[in-house]
Chain A
């Protein structure tokens, strides 16, 4: 662009902020996966479908039950989390002792079925969900216009990510969980119901995807394939951050949002590959990921 140097700084600030917003969204999404994939070691390819389910549930709740956005933020993750609990109990647990590939294929097939079902019922062009009244405005910053809804995403994401991190790393419940995934036999010997912890944790991870789906509904088109588009990126973020590291997934999510945002500014054509480029470099230099403890 001819005026590129003239607007350089302001343009850059805008892009950085947009990158941070997207990053906080990525952080929220990768958090659930980091728990399921990183802690429970279950490869859940249905995580994207659960995100889609969250967005559709928000739309259905609004249009059929009159449940507004704010209530959906609470109700929908519970419902989606319940789906996750049932999924873990009846689909994943029976094959828990098999090779990881089994759960990958099972969840992938489940995701395809869900996606096909929603395409059949609601078509592929998507549904419209408005931004809630209270957040529909925006603030004029010196370098850009910041929509209130995006500011809300940053705040909500920081709170949810912070709470989750604290719960897993700092509380007794979190300690049980980490120990239970590390050495289930020993924990069971102590009288801890490890299978129950695993089921609930899986449900919680899935509920986070549902929450992200509700938050995405007003700004992105609600379509059956919205999850499958994001899933691979989110997996890449968890891998870059390092398996098993909750904090790593959060920080990597933020960082990747910024890197992707800058790529969109300087060379948009590469914006959907840059994260994978980073993943290749990180895996070559640090196979365990940026914050991972072991490979």
Chain B
């Protein structure tokens, strides 16, 4: 370890000496690591697509910042926290990575952000759901961009409770993310005068949800909330429709990414409402970017893809404005400058690292409303950022 530090020191001194013209950029280049799930259940949500989106941002920025080239490295975290944190440690300690982007599973992100914080490197979190990274585990170097469980719960649950759907039943993914989502949603339900009449915790990767659907049916709830993600959501919704639950009560999918919505039968999913941080078909600007993404990646962007582009762009702009890639100076600049592009609307990056921006309450289109396979959501309402996200905690107010 000592040896490595010495070598690193020598390397950085050498680099510093040799690149007098761009002395403000450490080791002569800006290097961004993209940590994602390349082959697992979240591969469509933030896998190669997150790498592509980051690449697009770098290219659109011009490929260099302050005269120094911008490089991207990427790796597969295999959805394992130990694998993810080991990769990030290697990146920041041996490979001069300045910021780590991508990031999907909340469990991996929790481990990876510990490493980035220790190394004083910036973590750009695009697709993780947990709100811990800007609350319980907040850090001056965390930036959480696209959405979080609070915005999902508030966005989807509140309008339904207000519309008189008071009794709720949860089908929850039995791990950190599901528990967090259920917890936050329960709070929103109770604050608005509703009650939770029951919950079933289904292990991650459950194939058959019929038992849980039966429990939900006999619970007397008005709404069954699916506090899960990915295939779990698809499979639970399929069972809900098959067992006639969708005719008896409402189903609320708390987290539905576009690739998952595409995998659902429109006859079944049509009419279900959810909250998202981005949709490709909002206006001319989102369509323009999404079209370019689609040409390169082959499918429409999920919200984390657009978020990965947007946050990378903001990071690079901040380096340019700060005149250095020093993490402290860059993060200060990122928080000073207002993110503003096709993704970030009415946006601010708060001192706790939470990027607060407009969210969208959307409805999954029914078969007769769809032009083609990519025509999935229609926007019911836009949720202003300050209503979507929880206020900043005083202990996370990193100035």
Contact = CB atoms under 8 A, between A and B. Distances in A.
Interface of A: 1-3, 7, 10-11, 14-15, 18-19, 21-22, 116, 119, 123-131, 138, 144-145, 147, 149-150, 219-221, 223, 225-226, 229-230, 261, 264-265, 268-269, 271-272
A265 B215 contact: yes
A147 B212 contact: no
B40 A124 contact: yes
Given A221-B231, A229-B205, A269-B174, A18 B39 contact: no
A126 B231 CA distance: 7
A130 B219 CA distance: 28
A277 B297 CA distance: 44
B259 A123 contact: yes
A266 B135 CA distance: 34
Contacts of A219: 208, 238-239, 242
Main secondary structure of the interface of B (DSSP, over half): mixed
A268 to B, nearest CB: 5
Q: How large is the interface on B (under 10, 10 to 19, 20 to 34, 35 or more residues)?
A: 35 or more
Contacts of B263: 125-128, 221
A269 B200 CA distance: 8
A268 B200 contact: yes
B169 to A, nearest CB: 10
Contacts of B212: 264, 268
B243 A147 contact: yes
B199 to A, nearest CB: 9
Main secondary structure of the interface of A (DSSP, over half): mixed
Contact of B235 (A18, A21, A221, A261): A221
A131 B211 CA distance: 19
21 contacts: A3-B220, A11-B214, A14-B214, A15-B214, A124-B43, A124-B44, A125-B231, A125-B260, A145-B244, A219-B208, A219-B239, A220-B208, A220-B238, A221-B231, A223-B231, A225-B40, A264-B211, A265-B215, A268-B200, A268-B203, A271-B202
Contacts of B218: 3, 7, 10-11, 14
Contact of B208 (A22, A125, A129, A147): A22
Interface string B16-41: 00000000000000000000000111
A228 to B, nearest CB: 10
A269 B175 CA distance: 10
A213 to B, nearest CB: 12
B211 A269 contact: no
B385 interface: no
Contacts of A223: 41, 231
B202 A268 contact: yes
B235 A220 contact: yes
Given A147-B242, A221-B235, A229-B205, A125 B210 contact: no
B42 interface: yes
Interface in B238-291: 238-239, 242-244, 257, 259-260, 262-265, 267
A147 to B, nearest CB: 5
